[in-house]
Each structure stands twice: as structure tokens, then as C-alpha cells.
Structure 1
Amino acid sequence: MSAPSSENEVRPTAFAALRRLLAPLRARLAVAVALQAVSSAVGVVPLIAVAEIARMLLEPPVDEARVWRAVVVCGTAAPISLLTGAAAVTLTHLGDAALQLSLRRALADRMGRLPLGWFSTRGSGTVKKVVHDDVHAMHYLVAHTLLDATTVVVVPVTALAYLLSVDWRLALLCLVPLLAGIWLFARAMTGVGPKMADYARAATEINSGVVEFVDGIAVIKTFGRARVAHERFVRAADAFHSFFSRWVADTTATTTASQIVVAPPVVVLLLLAASTALVTSDQLGAPDLVAFALLGPGVAGAVSGIGTRLQALRTGGTAAVAVAAVLDTPAQTVPERPLAPDGVEVALRGVSFSYDGKRPALRGIDLELAPGTVTALVGRSGAGKSTLARLVPRFLDVTDGSITLGGVDVRDIDPRTFYRTVGFVFQDVGLLRMSVAENIALGRPEATRERIESAARAARIHDRIVAEPRGYDTVVGTDVEFSGGEAQRIAIARALLADPPILVLDEATAYADPHAEAAIQKALSAAAAGRTLLVIAHRLASVVEADQIIVLADGQVAERGRHHELLALGGRYARMWDAQHAAVAATGPPDRDASRARIEQETLS
């Protein structure tokens, strides 16, 4: 049984997630870090050579051979540092490219084996964020941060080791700005964890406000209340401004101070003041000032970029947690020894389901879908209609009880056999970036063009397709963008071509225009002949001929029977029927489509 909810996911720590995801790159990254260490250490050598050349030239007699050897060392070290650094960067970037490819393949493989309901509880934006944004967010960490961290450690250590050999007093003085910078930066970062969480929440509110503004502006302006459309965005922007201003005000002074104390001019000034005092008191040779002026700033300068690198670590760790959580999501169970169903009768026995393992969305559902019959699910919003409809095609697996097909538990049937038997058309249509013909033939890729066109005609979408210059070869999302109703009819054509004996429909004509709706209903009625249909209905008039109508309330079966039987009961169904008829009578047939939202609201209240 697969986990039904992301709330039950055990999310790893950032360190554990990074350690796991970067494990295949461990050897490559180790080599890259070693190369970067060599590059960083050798990169300090030219400065040391210049300091030594200055010492030799300022302390006669001048040994020309030694001077030229130092020049050769300086000229040799620079290209070695560049080459080893370039090799390190190349290795990390190649490793990052390999990591992104392997992670995206692993995510695609995992998502291909997840319960379909996992996707219905997440928007496409969430999936895109994990597969694209979060994987990409690890780029800077893998390709740059490890090398930067190596440089931050190796350069000060190498410079300090040399300066200790020149004068230990001034060398230790170089540590004062470094330690002061670290202390000040640590103070500025106090409580950054909760503040970053507040920052993310504030940014999310702004994003949500923008989406609401864009999605709602047309409707709100129609009623002359344009201000309402962007009030949430304005409030979110104001809240973000207030929060960020307070954060900046609290940390600016300390952060600025941490940058100033390690700035090269400040460090050089400090060292020159101290070294001048030592020179004038004959405790230090004048040529030694060159060494500290050149290498002293490098000892403390490492702190100046620590904030950026810590942020890269934090961002990469957060992204790694999100990626690892998806990879750890339990896949839908696949039977080792699949069983073949005997027939196409569907039976639900004691079915219960919960999204979070706590609050039940469905409880104790017993239901039989006899071959060739139509079963309609009705009820107010939140009653559990869509959840129940998604259990039958195994978008979700039951929490308790069982669903059988032909006497066999659906979890014991091979998925390929199962989805050749059970088809579905939901309100949220998914069209892929491929030709229209390929979209329709998704369930039967071997179908001929004639059969594809026949299914499109039955779904009343053929004329719209051939109106495009490339007809059925038109690429969805590139050559054309179909409206919601048109996409719905393509999905219906797909289901008709797949020709499954069991079909689940969630208000399949929801996005159809009034002109096409009747034709599509006739096409679906013809296609339903000999099939088992499970239909989610919002307009009761569309299911009066159903073989059985199931009225759901609070996740349970409240009433069941045929239309006339339920009307005779005078219960929930009868009240819903009266409410819809009263609403239609009040608005009139010509305004049926325009008043649909209000009709349904009155029905469901």
C-alpha cells in the first residue's frame, strides 16, 4: 500500500540529503578539491616570490641568480595555478552536469512509478520546481561552492605559514581582522534560520498575490471592483517590505562592520602601522613590509565572501531535501505475480481512504459496478466524489478495504492489463507536447489514422483539428493552444479510441460550450454501450437515466438508488434536484451556461 500523503513523508536533513545525492560524485569531487587546493596554494607563490625578490633587491649585495630563480618560480607558478584551477572547475561542472542528468532521470523514473493521485495533490508547478528548479539549485553548490570553500581555507593558511617565517608577531596580527570579521558575521547571522523561513513565506505570499491578481483581474474589473483584485498583492508586498526592512535594519550595521574589518585597505593600514613601528625600532627589516602588504590582506579576506557561500550551502541543502523526499516517496505497488481478472465487474468492499492518515476522506464504502451499467456519484463539494472516482482507476490506493476487478484486488493486477481495462476522463485534461494524432492515440499508439479520426469525430473535435494547417500533425503547445473545452474533447477522443470496458468520467463535458455539449453527451452515450461507467455528476439532469445514483455526504454513502427512487425518498437527492430546477427556472434556459456557477453553489449549499 502506498503512502497516501506527503504529510507522512520523512524528509531527510540537508546534510544527509546532500551526502546521499552527491555520493556518486564523491571521487570526482575529491579530485577536484585536491586540484583546487594545489591551485590555491600555488596561486600564493607568485606573491611570495615578489616579496622575496623585493627582499633580495633591497638587501645588498644582490644575488642575480637567486633573483632570476625567483622570477622563474613566479612565472611558472601562475600558469600551474590557472591550469589546476581550470581542471578543478571543469571536473565539478562535468560532475554537476552528470548529477543533474542522473537526478532528473531518477526523478522521472520515480514519478513514473508513483500513484497517479500523488500528482493530483500537487500542482504542475510543484513538480516542475523539484525536477527543474531544485535540481538546478544544486549547481552552484556542486560546481563552485566546494572549490570556493577550499580556496577560503588554503589561501589564508598558505599565506599565514609564509608570514610566520617572516615575523610571527605581524603574522598573528593578521588573524585579528579575520577573527573580528568572523565574530561580527556570526552576530549578524544570529536567528537567520527562522528569518529565512519568514522570508520564504513572505515571498510565497507575494507570488500567490500576483497569481490571484492575474487570474482574477478580468472577473473583478467586470464588476467594477478592480482594487479587490490586487489588494492581496499590495498587502503581501507591504508585509514583505516591512519584514525585510526590519531585518536589514537589524543586521546592516553588523554586516557592514564584518566587511569593513577584513577589507584590504583596513588590513594593510593595520599591518603597515604595526610594521612601521617595528622597523623604526630596528625589530624588523624594511623589506619585510612588502611581504605583509602583499599577503596580509589575503589572510583575512576569506570572510568577505562567506555569506554568499553559506547561502549557496543553505539553498543547495534545501533543494537536496526536496529532491530526496520525492525519490523516497513509496512507489505504487506492483505485484510480483500478477493475477488476471475474470470479467470486468468492479466491487468496493469496506473502502476507506485518508490523505493524511488522520482525517478520513471516505469511510466504509460498499459499491458494485455491474458490467454495462452507469453509476453516478453526486453530492456537495467535499463529499468525496472525486476521491472515490480516483480510487477505481487506482490513482490512489485504499487505506482500508479493497477494490476488486473481476474478483481480483486491483493491487494484484499488472498495471498494463489494468489500464487497458479502466479508462478515465477528468476535468483536468493533460495534453502532451506532441501531435494531436499522437495525443489521441496515447492509449493505442498502433491505431491507424482512420481510427484516430473516427474517435475525434465521435468526440466532435475533428472539424476543429482539420481547421489547423497541419491538421492531425499539429503539435500541441507549439503550433496550437486548445481551449479547455477543445482539450476536453481531445481527451474524450483518446478515451473512445482506447476503448476500455470500464470508463470513469468526471463531468466530462464540464468545459464544453453549450453548442457542443449535447453532441458530446450523445457520443459518450453511444460509447457507453456495453461499458461500465462511473460518472461524477454536478448537473443531476445529466444522470437521470443512470442505473444507480450514489449520494455521498461526508465521505459516506448517504443514499443510493435510481432517479425516481431517490426522489420518492425525499432526502438529500430530492432537495438537490429541487434546488437545481428552481435555479434553472429562475435564470431561464438561455442563461444556463452563464449562471452555472450560481446554480451549483445553490445546489451544494
Structure 2
Amino acid sequence: MSPPDAAGHHENPGAAPQAKVALGDLLAPVRSRLLLACLLEAIGALAKVVPLIALVELARELLRDPVREERVWAVVAVAAGALLLRLLTSGAALTLTHLADSAFQFDVRRRAARRLGHVPLGWFTDRSSGRVKKALTDDVADLHHLVGHAYLELTTAIVAPSAALVYLLVSDWRLTLLTLLPVLVGVIQYSLMMRGQEEQMERYQRSIAGVSAAAVEFVDGIAVVKTFGQAGHAHTRFTRAAESFVTDFWEWVRGMLRGSTVAELALAPFTTLLAALVAGAAFVQAGWVPPADVLPFLVVGVAVAGPFLELNYAYQHLVSARHAAGNIQRLLSTETLPPAPDAPAIPVDARVRFAGVRFGYSGGAEVIRGVDLDLRPGTVTALVGPSGAGKSTLAALLARFWDPTEGHITIGGADLREMAQLTLYQQVGMVLQDIRLVHDSVRENIRMAREGASEEEVIAAARAANIHERIMALPRGYDSVHGEDANLSGGEAQRVAIARALLADTPVVILDEATAYADPDSETAIQNALSRLAVGRTLLVIAHRLRAVTDVDQICVVNDGRIVERGDHHSLLAREGLYAELWGAQEALAEGRTS
């Protein structure tokens, strides 16, 4: 038995039934094709044994005196026909399994696309995106080998030796038992090796997880630890984790090494051949069988032992596939947002209201604790407050990244949960800190906001966002592809996002510190673009720099998930509360930088 691979594919006893069910559910759409392929492969496996038997019969015939020529040619014809049948059935089976694999992959990815199209937008963090990538690439690839190859290999590994065993038993059951005695030893040895492997696998997984965590910590934090002179300390933690892994792994391997060697030697084809030679020679010398009767065990006996090693490898592939199927099934079971009612609500205007809104992430503490907020059409409301106060979460709730656990949010009198998804995103646009441009032309990155927008509308939006001249300076202008010949800075990417928001022309816009990553040259251009975006719209702005929001209509100070102060800049300063403290701290910091 070989240890699990570095990806950690192994069976957890508690999760095994669920993994088997998950694998069965995923393969249900292609099960009939797989069964037909396995049936064809079984026919091919039987045909695979026929030439070996034909070889034995041919040798027996050639040893006769006189040789029956017609019998020789009949045996040759049977062998040739079996080889042709093997070629046709195995080729057809392999074609069927690969067609089934294509259909399976298409079905899984289509189901994932449908499912992920209805999950909360807030679910798409870096961690969940990595989970999607692993499930739909790595895990689907693991299932490819199972669907495309392993089932056929497993069928051959069972049918071919079974047919050979029947033929040998018919020939001479005594020689059969002696020839296959090493096989029995190998099977028993493997069974003994399997005892206690679950605990060893768990230790292996913990060790490799420790190495991975230490490596990530060391690499991600290398700049910090070097700055503070702690590189040696971080390196020591990584080295200790690596040494622990090596120790655990060697203890496991060392415990299996002798048994694995014995088992593989016992199941090796040459061992079976040697057993057949010794047993056959003894039987011939004793006069129990004629020499020709030993031929089946020398030729066909090897076909019984070899596939047992293939069965072990097929089992490893099955374990890996079950693990992968569990990951995919968990992705396909991701909780979705409740669907809109049959008669979705339609907003009557752009007024936004938060009423008694509470929210807590799944399994975590409550982060929004009873917020009431009114955003009138055509006004700008800024959310300010300490880091982690809940500002971004409030904005995410307005964009329906999540649903409130209590209370409700309305646009134009329509509850977000009662609006169709398309209607909601025709009402709410977003310009976030972390801008993600897709691998496409700059034109299509802007046009994502409105698929049918004309060239003139795209250019007008880019001009209003102060990004048109920069785009025209790219090698292919609007046809330049992001990540290839369009290498935009953070501030330029922000302006592309603003152009997208302008093109979408939504009545409600969320701005999450849109100038956070802008360089000084871009900040003025972004502020001018945001001024154009704000005209006539209901704006909710998340701001960390208070000087940027001194002229807005309403400032709401958020702390510990609540709005603790609200008003304009001057009234909040006069109150001498949290806003005044934040303002004073930022002003003192700015003065310290300029002095």
C-alpha cells in the first residue's frame, strides 16, 4: 500500500459514507454509460485471456504426433478473433467513458454555475474563490481518471483473473492452489498492513498541514519578520514543522516497508511463474501430470496475480475520487439566497431605508446591531468610524451581499429580498476598493455594466471618468486586453470601475473608499469622476479619510455595529464625540507628516 499523495487524499472513516453518496450522486447522470462501458470492458477482459489459453492449446497441438493442421489454424483464428474483439470492445469502452467524462464535467460545471449564481455575493471571498477553483479544476481532474479510466481498469482487474482462475481450476485444482499460494500470501499481508492505518493517516495529515501553515506564515510574513529582525525565529518554526513531518512520515513508511515489500514480491508475476515451475516440476517428476499439463500454469497463471497490484492502485484512485466528490458536493450544496416571490417588488424611487437591521455572519457574533438609516434620493451619506466598526458590512447588506438576520432594507419601498436579482442590480451600482478587472478588452470591462451599450456610450462614460485619454494611450486603445497590453495602475483601474458605474446609470451607488489605492496623480481625477457620478443619485460612501466627506449631506458614525452619531461635519465636531476624536487624530497625523 502506498501512502496518500501530497494533496492529502485519504479516507476519513466518519466521512466515508457521505463521500460514497456524494460520488454516486455526481455520477448519476452518466451511470448508464459507465455501466455499458464496463460491460464492454468485461467482454474485452475475457477476450484478453483467450489468446493465452489459445497459446497453451496451440503448444499442446504442436506436441502431438501427427500435428492436426486444421486444428492449429482454428486455434490461431480464435486467438486472432479474440485479439480483434479485445481491441474493438476496449476501444468502444474507452470512448464511452471519455464521452461520459465530458458530459460529467459539463454537468458539474453547469450545476456549479447555476448554484453560485444564487449564493450571496459576500460568499465570494478569496477563500471561497480558492475553494471553487479547487473543486472545479483539481477535484474534477481527480474524478476524470476515475470516470475515464479507473472503472475500466477495475473491471479488467476483476474479470480477467477470474476467467483465468476458472480455466486453471478446470485444468488441475491442485496445481492451481500451489501456483496461487504466493498470491494468497500477498493478499493476507496487505490485509494485515491495513490495520491501524487510519490513525497513521491522521497523523500524516496533521503533519503536512503543519508544514503548509508554517510555509505560508514564513513566506507571507518574510518582509515583516526581516524588518523586526525575527527571520531566524520564523525560520526555526518552519524547520521544526518540516522535521516533525519527516519524523512522522518515516515512522509510517518504516512500519509498512517490510510488509509492503513482502506483499509486492508475493504478487509479482515472476513469483507466480516460479511457483508454477516448482509445483509443475514436482508433479511431473512424481508422475501425477504429463509435462503438457503444466503449460496452463506457466502461461495463464501470471494473468491471475498481476491484476492484484492494479486493484490496489485502483482503490487509491477511488479514495481520491471520493474525497474530490465530497468537495464538489459541498460546493454544490452551498447555501443560496432565498428566491424572489412570484410577483417581485418594484422600487418607486431611489430612497433607501434600513429599518432595525441586524446581521451576524454564519457561526459568528452579531456585527450589525439594530441600524436605522434613511438615504434620501439625490443625497450623499458617508459612513465613518473605526476599523472593524461595521461600515463595509452595512454597505454590503445594501448590495445584498448578505441578507439581514433581522429587520429589512428597502429601495423605493421595495424590500431587497422581494426584488428580482436583475431589478436589484439595475438599482444599485458599486465602486469598491478592491477593483477586479476581467481578462478582456478595456471596452468589454466597461461594457459589463450594460451589455448592449454602444461604442459612443462606452467612450462617453470613459471620458466622464477621466480615463479616456489613458485608454487611447494603450497599444490598441479600447481593444487592449487587461493583463496583456493594458497594465493599469490601481487608480486607473478605479476610473475604469467608475466608468462602468456611470454606464450602468443606477439610481443608487455605493462607494467603498474609492480613492484608497490611488496615487496622488490619479486622486484628483478620481474625485472629479466621482463628482460626476454623484449627480442626481443616492450615494452611500464609506470613508476612512474624513476630509473627503466634509461636504456630504449626512455623516453617520458607526461603532461596534451601531450608528452612534449622525449629522453634518460641523454639528458632529460641535458634539465633541467619537467623530471629533477621529477628526482630531487624523488632523494631528496629517500635521505630523507635513512638519
TM-score of the alignment, normalized to the shorter chain, above 0.5: yes
2:561 corresponds to 1:547? no
The residue aligned with 1:178 is: 183
Give CA deviations for 1:265-320 in whole Å, capped at 9, x if unaligned: 21222222222222211122211222111122222222212332122112211222
2:66 corresponds to 1:39? no
Q: Judging changes above 3 Å, is the alpha-carbon distance between structure 1 residues 444 and 205 closer, same or farther for their aligned structure 2 residues? A: farther
What do you get for the CA RMSD once the two structures are aligned? 2.7
Q: Judging changes above 3 Å, is the alpha-carbon distance between structure 1 residues 72 and 507 closer, same or farther for their aligned structure 2 residues? A: same
The residue aligned with 2:147 is: 142
CA distance in 1, matches of 2:232, 2:459: 48
2:289 corresponds to 1:284? yes
Q: Judging changes above 3 Å, is the alpha-carbon distance between structure 1 residues 172 and 485 closer, same or farther for their aligned structure 2 residues? A: farther
The residue aligned with 1:557 is: 563
Alignment of 1:524-539 (within 5 A): 524-539=530-545
Could you tell me whether the CA contact under 8 Å between 2:179 and 2:279 is conserved in 1?
no
1:411 paired residue among 388, 397, 417: 417
Report the more deviating stretch, 153-162 or 125-134: 125-134
Could you tell me whether the CA contact under 8 Å between 2:492 and 2:522 is conserved in 1?
no
Give CA deviations for 1:31-63 in whole Å, capped at 9, x if unaligned: 100111011111011111111222333455544
Could you tell me whether the CA contact under 8 Å between 1:178 and 1:262 is conserved in 2?
yes
Q: Aligned AA for 2:564?
A: A
CA distance in 2, matches of 1:171, 1:360: 71
Give CA deviations for 1:60-103 in whole Å, capped at 9, x if unaligned: 55444333322221222112112211111111011111211222
Alignment of 1:244-255 (within 5 A): 244-255=249-260
Alignment of 1:152-551 (within 5 A): 152-193=157-198, 195-196=200-201, 199=204, 234=239, 237-332=242-337, 333-551=339-557
The residue aligned with 1:592 is: none
Identity among equivalent positions (%) equals: 49
Could you tell me whether the CA contact under 8 Å between 1:342 and 1:407 is conserved in 2?
yes
CA distance in 1, matches of 2:492, 2:203: 42
Could you tell me whether the CA contact under 8 Å between 1:544 and 1:563 is conserved in 2?
yes
TM-score by length of 2: 0.90
Give CA deviations for 1:484-521 in whole Å, capped at 9, x if unaligned: 33222211211122121111111111111012113312
Report the more deviating stretch, 253-262 or 168-177: 168-177
Could you tell me whether the CA contact under 8 Å between 1:12 and 1:321 is conserved in 2?
no
CA distance in 2, matches of 1:470, 1:339: 44
Report the more deviating stretch, 355-364 or 129-138: 355-364
Q: Judging changes above 3 Å, is the alpha-carbon distance between structure 1 residues 350 and 241 closer, same or farther for their aligned structure 2 residues? A: same
Q: Judging changes above 3 Å, is the alpha-carbon distance between structure 1 residues 545 and 230 closer, same or farther for their aligned structure 2 residues? A: farther
Could you tell me whether the CA contact under 8 Å between 2:182 and 2:275 is conserved in 1?
no
CA distance in 1, matches of 2:486, 2:76: 67
Q: Aligned AA for 1:340?
A: I
Q: Judging changes above 3 Å, is the alpha-carbon distance between structure 1 residues 217 and 253 closer, same or farther for their aligned structure 2 residues? A: same
Q: Judging changes above 3 Å, is the alpha-carbon distance between structure 1 residues 501 and 359 closer, same or farther for their aligned structure 2 residues? A: same
Quote how far apart the aligned CAs of 1:142 are. Answer: 0.2
TM-score by length of 1: 0.88
Q: Judging changes above 3 Å, is the alpha-carbon distance between structure 1 residues 188 and 556 closer, same or farther for their aligned structure 2 residues? A: farther
CA distance in 1, matches of 2:466, 2:206: 46
SS at match of 2:486: coil
Quote how far apart the aligned CAs of 1:108 are. Answer: 1.8
CA distance in 2, matches of 1:572, 1:282: 105
Q: Judging changes above 3 Å, is the alpha-carbon distance between structure 1 residues 205 and 515 closer, same or farther for their aligned structure 2 residues? A: farther
CA distance in 2, matches of 1:303, 1:463: 69
Could you tell me whether the CA contact under 8 Å between 1:11 and 1:321 is conserved in 2?
no
CA distance in 2, matches of 1:281, 1:54: 22
SS at match of 1:367: strand
Quote how far apart the aligned CAs of 1:21 are. Answer: 1.4
The residue aligned with 1:65 is: 70
Report the more deviating stretch, 335-344 or 218-227: 218-227
CA distance in 2, matches of 1:273, 1:240: 45
CA distance in 2, matches of 1:24, 1:566: 63
Report the more deviating stretch, 373-382 or 95-104: 373-382
CA distance in 2, matches of 1:347, 1:11: 48
Could you tell me whether the CA contact under 8 Å between 2:491 and 2:526 is conserved in 1?
no
